[in-house]
Amino acid sequence: MTRDGQGSGSDSPDLRRTQELFWDLIAAPQGVRPGLAALRASGRMDAGDLSFMIRGDDRLAPEDRLDIYASMYFYRLRDSLAEDFPKVAAIIGGAAFHNLVTDYLLAHPSRHWSLRYLGVPFAGFLASQDLSRSFPYLADLARLEWARIEMFDAADADVLTRDEAAVAGPDLHLGLIPATTILPFEWNVAPIWRHLEHEAAHDDGGGSNSAAVTGDNQEEFAAPMSVDRPEQQKTPTLVWRQGFAVYHRTLPPTESPCLEAALRDGVALPELCEILMGGEKEPDMQAAMRTVAGLLGRWLKDGLVVRPGFVSS
């Protein structure tokens, strides 16, 4: 133990150093004792064991006591990610998911006060892993699972009704509710999502869990679930919340640029016609107006259009 960070008049480290060591050791991927050896090897501490900081007794050594916290740390976060990404976990299986999370927490330890945000960089991390060579579509599936979480508790908004849209007529300026996002997928993952959702709904044992504890306290990992590889194709996908239910659907080529424009800054109806003609999606203004009318009807039905002037509380 260096003199830095020691409490006055004691061999114990001060509060800051205690907490830093505690964190280093419970976040060590192999457990407290290997973590301690790594700290010693790197010259960050020279004590042989943890008795200078933690009291042991006839039941448990200091390292064993700290290991209780190390286990709770890892399993709580792993289980939280398994709850956020049940379909990714189902495809790769419990053991691979466990290892993936181990690496993920080393690269992206939680820095937010809420566990809700632990999965923010998960899809990007997944895309960078060897696992993505075998499952190249997995990062897109993770993005879909995450976007659905984001939409679940996004800000509320008043939705424009058909009657209100009719009153506004061609002067209507379209803005979308906050609980709307568009994901530019490279893989068509919606059918896999639907298949796994159906499987989970018909599995009374909660089949998408990544692991379960057996009677003898050994962890039994769920086996990987076999799914057909999806098509590799650009598949812009809309994810949104209507009421309290979250939905997603693949966007056709005519709808995608229009909805993206509405999502960016809001859009007036004539601008939508120009987008359609400029992108050569429609040959003339009349055809474009017909398409815009159809799109607007769908967006109103889906509850995507925010009432003008609405300010979130």
Q: Per CB under 8 A, does 312 bind other proteins?
A: yes
Which residues between 21 and 80 bind other proteins (CB under 8 A)? 22-23, 26-27, 51-55, 57, 59-60, 62, 64-66, 68-69, 72-73, 76-77, 80
Q: Per CB under 8 A, does 174 bind other proteins?
A: no
Joined tokens for residue 278? 């400029």
Joined tokens for residue 111? 């820095």
Q: How far apart are CA 97 and CA 101, in angstroms?
A: 6
Which residues between 10 and 29 bind other proteins (CB under 8 A)? 10-16, 18-20, 22-23, 26-27
Q: Which of 30, 40, 106, 152 binds other proteins (CB under 8 A)?
A: 152
Q: How far apart are CA 194 and CA 255, in angstroms?
A: 22
Question: What stretches of 153-284 show up as alpha helix (H) in DSSP?
Answer: 162-168, 190-201, 255-265, 269-278
Identify the sign of the CA torsion 51, 53, 59, 65.
negative
Joined tokens for residue 36? 């301690």
In whole angstroms, the minimum distance from the beta carbon of 283 to other proteins comes to 41
Q: Per CB under 8 A, does 244 bind other proteins?
A: yes
**Long-range Cβ contact pairs of 27-36 (< 8 A, separation 24 or more):** 27/70, 27/73, 27/105, 27/106, 27/109, 28/70, 29/102, 29/105, 29/106, 31/67, 31/70, 32/63, 32/64, 32/66, 32/67, 32/70, 33/63, 33/67, 35/70, 36/63
Using the minimum distance from each CB to other proteins, give the nearer residue, 11 or 197: 11
Using the minimum distance from each CB to other proteins, give the nearer residue, 26 or 269: 26
| Letter string b/e over residues 42-52, b meaning 16 or more CB atoms within 10 A of that residue's CB | eeebebeebeb
Q: How far apart are CA 238 and CA 180, in angstroms?
A: 7
Which residues between 204 and 243 bind other proteins (CB under 8 A)? 241
In whole angstroms, the minimum distance from the beta carbon of 279 to other proteins comes to 33
Q: Which of 99, 110, 129, 132 binds other proteins (CB under 8 A)?
A: 110
In whole angstroms, the minimum distance from the beta carbon of 192 to other proteins comes to 25
In whole angstroms, the minimum distance from the beta carbon of 80 to other proteins comes to 8
**Contacts with other proteins: how many residues (CB under 8 A)?**
54
Using the minimum distance from each CB to other proteins, give the nearer residue, 31 or 178: 178
Which residues between 267 and 306 bind other proteins (CB under 8 A)? none
In whole angstroms, the minimum distance from the beta carbon of 79 to other proteins comes to 10
Using the minimum distance from each CB to other proteins, give the nearer residue, 180 or 256: 180
In whole angstroms, the minimum distance from the beta carbon of 33 to other proteins comes to 15
Whether residue 293 contacts residue 169, with contact meaning beta carbons closer than 8 Å, is answered with: no
Q: Per CB under 8 A, does 247 bind other proteins?
A: no
Contact window for other proteins (CB under 8 A) among 4-12, 223-231, 263-271, 279-287: 4-12
Joined tokens for residue 296? 């607007």
Whether residue 38 contacts residue 28, with contact meaning beta carbons closer than 8 Å, is answered with: yes
Closest CA to 139 of 83, 88, 178: 88
Residue 232: what residue type?
Q
Which residues between 83 and 102 bind other proteins (CB under 8 A)? none
Q: Per CB under 8 A, does 111 bind other proteins?
A: yes
Residues that bind other proteins (CB under 8 A): 7, 10-16, 18-20, 22-23, 26-27, 51-55, 57, 59-60, 62, 64-66, 68-69, 72-73, 76-77, 80, 109-116, 118, 152-157, 178-179, 241, 244, 312
